[in-house]
Structure formats: structure tokens, C-alpha cells
């Protein structure tokens, strides 16, 4: 039960349908689409398109998309991987010849062919109901007529003024006299409106072929990229089989690699090796979650990659034996100072949306340009930003996630779904780059293990271990001094996080009462709404 003396918000409750997103315009758009006769997939795509306009630092049509879909709220969960590939001409040699040891952020080399529009059009064609032009109409309206900038959007925008200013086309669209728009100012994107109009009327080919594709290729090649019209024409996402694990009687579904959903499941498997007798907000419990995450992320960094480029040992990563092996390494009295070298057999910006409609079709939908404002490079006439997802590639020759021709990088964005007793019971997601796998496990554990209120679980203080063998942990300022002191005494280096950690949305289906409950991230501008 919520403590009503604490300044937070109640969960949303409804009987018919519900949507939750990180922006009020997007959530309201989803509800409007549902009330106009659309289904959950229509509403999710429409909401995402709106966020591509009103949250330009977090997402855009120049990014990628993943989705999970549970028709009629049954136990079958359908997954779609809408991540883009590198150009055919891009090889590890190209980086080595230039002496690069990592992919530069503000470069064409960081841009894989954007997969979002392909994902939207495929998912709509297969599972939507309303005309596609109707789905994109709200976003087109906001781009053409303008929208008021909200507080969290302004904050994130203002932190990237230098990045935006480095590209004249980006500065023209996203800066006013060299600064980000203020809270409450109206921002318009007429060039993006024209692009959305073409996509709405002509479909995916308007983006991947013709003048828009030609402009993208020209802009990227002018920045040193190797992209071709053929790379764009051949772009295609794919339906994939979800990966799952059992956690306390529930089945948790994630998209398979190249996404890091398998790592969220690995963290849950490690937590399953311990009982839930620890206080959920105690130093012991947070210690356990930190160490489970550090161990799982070490495995991720060693093995996660595009499965089409090489074998990813998913079965071994999800085996009980592997989870038990990692769990035995955790000592609740002291932090691990050495992480294992695995030999298995052969904080970023994103938007997440969840929608459940009156037929209980459930959609878990995530779209991203990776870092805030991505590469900062804009297609000047089409008016949208390119993502920088290629920065997730390894430039270590021989690494499973090594950059190469037509490869997809390790992806952080992961939608989630939970089923139990042959029914979907929860659609959820957590934004925040590399935090997302930990965020999924943290949220599910708090709701399933400890029966927490959805909003309460989202509002808890967050922390995330920094990659590497040193037990360094970034923590939000709301983490109590007593907990910080206790974790420090065990050897963790607790440092303040420069930004709020992540964001989450979740909808739970209560089949017994025929109701829906939803929650939305208090660290963002969004809301959950139902009717």
C-alpha cells in the first residue's frame, strides 16, 4: 500500500485500456488512438512517433526499435528486432588504418542503417488496425504546429548544446541563439513534418529508397561514411524467438541477442539462487543486486554480439549451472575485487512505451538513438538525427562484437514481458542504456519477490556498477547515507551519478478483477493513463 504522506503518485487504474510512456503527449496520443478504434500496436507506434518529435534527444526516426507483442494477453509472445546493420563496406581494417581504438560518437562510422521505420511499418502491417497515415498524424501535427518543451526534455537538451552546435543543420533545428529551448517554449520541426508525411503516405520505401535515402547516404558519406543506397534498400528487421527464464513461478520474456535481454534474465537467475528474506532496500539486498549485475555484465561484455556474425552461447548463459556458479562468487560481507574471465562453450537515452488494449493485446515497445541526440548529425533536408549505436561495437580484432560488414552491434534497448498461468500479466521496460538489464531485474524482483506497488518499485533509489573490475558504483542522491556507508565499508566505491538513472513504465493485467494497473517514471515527464 502506498504511503500517501510521501510525495509521489498513485498507480493508474482502469478497466478498458491503458498506456504508459515517458512523455504526456505520447501517452495521451496512445489513449486517443485506442478510443478512435485502434489497437495496442497502433497506439504504441503512434505514441513512439510523437516521442520522436517531442523528445528529440531520446529518440527519433533515425534510430532503432525493438518490440514484444502478446496477442489477446495469451502466453505467446512475439518479438521483433528492428536494429540496423553496418554498411557492407565497413570493416575492422577501416578503423585500424585510422588508428582508432573506439568508434567516435560524432561520426558516420557510428551510424548503422536506422531500423525504426522498417520496424514500425512491419509491425503495423502485421498487427495494426487503423490506416498508417492515421497513426503518424499526431506526430506530424506536433512537428508542423509545434509543442511545448517539458522539464526533463529541456534538461537533457541543454546538456547537449555543444554537440548540436557542431553540426549546422542540427543547430538550425534544435538551437535558438545557440541554446536549447526553455521549458514552455514552442518548438517546431517543419522538415521532420514533411518527412513524416511522406512516410505516412508512401510507407517504408519513402525512407529506405528515393530522395530521403539518397540524402542520408550523401550526408553520411560527406562525413566520411561508407553507406550506399544499396545498404538502405536492403534494410530489414526480423521476427525472432524470445528468450525466457522462470522467476518465482513467472516466465520473463526478452528479445534475444544482439540485445542484452538475455543479461537481464541472467541477473534474475543469479537472484533466484538466493531467497527473498533480505529487506528489499537493505544494504545486503543492494549488495546482492550490484554483484549479480557486475558478474552478468562481465559475461555480456565477453559474449554478447550479433548472432548472425558468430555464436552467442544463450543456452549456457541461461543455464542454472552458470547462475549457480556466479552466485557462489558473491560474498555479502565484501565486494568482489576480481571478476572472472569467462570461458563458455561455443547509460543512454531511449523511450519506452507499453500499451494494453480492451482485448488485452499487450505491446512492449522501445525506440532509441542511443546517446542523447545521438551523433548530433542531422539529415539537413529531412530534419532528423542519426543515432550513434555503432559505438557499441568492439574494435578488438576477434571479439564476438567486433565491427564488420552488415553487422548489428550489441544493443542495450530491451522491452520486457511477463507471463504466468498461460496469460500475460505484465508489460514493462526500463530505459537507460547499459542500466537496462539491471533495471529489468531490479523492477521484476521488487514487484514479484516483494509485492511492491508498481510506482513504489519504480521510484526506489537506483544505482549501477560501472564497467570494469573495480567495484565502483554510481548512485542517485536519494540513496540513504546509511546505505552508502554500509556499502562503502564492504569495499564498494560509491560515487554520485551525473544523471538520474534510467526510466521505467509498466502495466500489470489483473485477470481476476478485469482491471489494469500502470505506472510511469517519476524521473521523466511522462504518465500512465487508462480509461
**Degrees (nearest 5) of the Cα angle 30, 6, 528?**
5
Using DSSP, state whether 237 is helix, strand or coil. coil
What is the grid cell recorded at 403? 565491427
The gap from C-alpha 305 to its chain's centroid, in whole angstroms, comes to 17
Q: Please say if 91 is a catalytic residue.
A: no
Alpha carbon of 330 to those of 47, 318, 465, 472: distances in Å? 42, 18, 15, 16
- DSSP classification of residue 130: S
Element (H, E) at 65: strand 64-70
Beta strand pairing call for 243-247 and 250-254: antiparallel
Q: How far apart are CA 283 and CA 332, in angstroms?
A: 9
First to last CA, the chain: 22
What is the grid cell recorded at 338? 576480481
Q: How far apart are CA 8 and CA 10, in angstroms?
A: 7
The length of the chain is: 531
* Burial class (CB within 10 angstroms; exposed 0-12, middle 13-18, buried 19+) of 155: middle
* Burial class (CB within 10 angstroms; exposed 0-12, middle 13-18, buried 19+) of 366: buried
Q: Which of 27, 350, 375, 497 is catalytic?
A: 350
Q: How far apart are CA 445 and CA 424, in angstroms?
A: 17
A 10 A CB-CB count for 127 gives 20
Taking a C-beta distance cutoff of 8 angstroms, is the pair 43, 26 a contact? no
What is the grid cell recorded at 466? 560501472
Sheet with 493-496, side-by-side order of all strands:
463-465, 472-475, 493-496
What is the grid cell recorded at 355? 500499451
Please give the positions annotated as active site: 350
Amino acid at each position: 500500500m502506498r504511503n500517501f504522506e510521501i510525495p509521489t503518485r498513485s498507480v493508474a487504474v482502469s478497466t478498458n485500456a491503458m498506456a504508459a510512456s515517458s512523455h504526456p503527449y505520447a501517452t495521451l496520443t496512445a489513449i486517443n488512438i485506442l478510443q478512435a478504434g485502434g489497437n495496442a500496436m497502433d497506439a504504441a507506434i503512434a505514441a513512439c512517433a510523437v516521442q520522436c518529435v517531442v523528445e528529440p534527444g531520446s529518440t527519433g526516426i533515425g534510430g532503432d526499435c525493438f518490440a514484444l507483442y502478446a496477442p489477446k494477453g495469451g502466453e505467446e509472445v512475439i518479438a521483433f528486432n528492428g536494429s540496423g546493420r553496418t554498411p557492407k563496406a565497413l570493416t575492422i581494417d577501416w578503423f585500424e588504418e585510422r588508428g582508432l581504438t573506439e568508434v567516435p560518437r560524432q561520426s558516420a562510422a557510428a551510424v548503422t542503417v536506422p531500423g525504426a521505420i522498417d520496424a514500425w511499418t512491419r509491425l503495423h502491417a502485421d498487427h495494426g488496425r487503423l490506416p498508417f497515415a492515421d497513426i503518424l498524424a499526431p506526430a506530424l501535427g506536433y512537428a508542423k504546429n509545434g509543442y511545448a518543451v517539458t522539464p526533463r526534455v529541456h534538461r537533457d537538451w541543454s546538456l547537449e548544446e555543444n554537440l548540436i552546435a557542431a553540426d549546422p543543420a542540427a543547430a538550425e533545428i534544435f538551437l535558438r541563439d545557440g541554446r536549447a529551448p526553455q521549458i514552455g517554449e514552442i518548438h517546431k520541426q517543419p522538415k521532420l513534418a514533411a518527412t513524416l508525411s511522406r512516410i505516412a503516405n508512401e510507407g517504408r520505401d519513402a525512407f529506405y529508397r528515393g530522395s530521403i535515402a539518397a540524402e542520408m547516404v550523401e550526408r553520411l558519406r560527406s562525413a566520411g561514411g561508407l553507406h550506399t543506397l544499396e545498404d538502405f534498400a536492403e534494410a530489414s528487421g526480423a521476427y525472432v524467438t524470445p528468450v525466457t527464464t522462470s522467476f518465482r513461478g513467472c516466465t520473463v520474456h526478452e528479445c534475444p541477442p544482439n540485445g542484452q535481454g538475455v543479461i537481464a534474465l541472467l541477473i534474475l537467475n543469479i537472484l533466484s539462487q538466493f531467497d527473498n528474506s533480505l529487506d528489499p532496500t537493505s544494504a545486503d539486498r543492494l549488495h546482492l543486486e550490484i554483484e549479480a549485475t557486475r558478474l552478468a555484465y562481465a559475461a555480456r561484455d565477453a559474449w554478447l554480439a550479433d548472432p548472425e556474425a558468430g555464436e552467442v552461447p544463450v543456452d549456457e548463459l541461461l543455464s542454472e549451472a552458470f547462475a549457480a556458479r556466479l552466485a557462489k562468487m558473491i560474498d555479502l560481507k565484501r565486494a568482489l575485487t576480481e571478476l572472472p574471465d569467462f570461458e563458455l562453450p561455443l547509460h543512454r537515452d531511449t523511450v519506452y512505451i507499453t500499451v494494453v488494449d480492451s482485448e488485452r493485446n499487450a505491446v512492449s515497445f522501445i525506440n532509441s538513438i542511443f546517446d542523447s541526440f545521438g551523433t548530433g548529425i542531422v539529415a539537413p533536408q529531412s530534419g532528423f538525427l542519426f543515432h550513434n549505436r555503432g559505438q557499441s561495437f568492439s574494435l578488438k580484432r576477434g571479439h564476438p562484437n567486433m565491427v564488420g560488414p552488415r553487422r548489428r552491434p550489441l544493443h542495450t534497448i530491451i522491452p520486457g514481458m511477463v507471463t504466468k498461468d498461460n496469460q500475460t500479466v505484465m508489460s514493462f521496460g526500463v530505459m537507460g542504456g547499459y542500466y537496462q538489464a539491471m533495471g529489468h531485474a531490479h523492477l521484476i524482483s521488487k514487484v514479484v519477490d516483494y509485492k511492491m506497488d508498481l510506482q513504489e518499485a519504480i521510484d526506489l533509489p537506483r544505482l549501477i556498477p560501472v564497467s570494469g573490475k573495480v567495484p565502483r558504483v554510481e548512485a542517485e542522491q536519494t540513496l540513504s547515507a546509511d546505505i552508502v556507508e554500509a556499502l562503502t565499508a564492504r569495499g564498494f566505491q560509491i560515487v554520485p551519478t551525473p544523471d538520474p538513472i534510467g526510466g521505467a513504465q509498466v502495466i500489470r493485467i489483473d485477470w481476476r478483477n478485469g482491471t489494469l494497473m500502470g505506472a510511469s517514471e517519476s524521473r521523466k515527464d511522462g504518465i500512465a493513463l487508462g480509461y
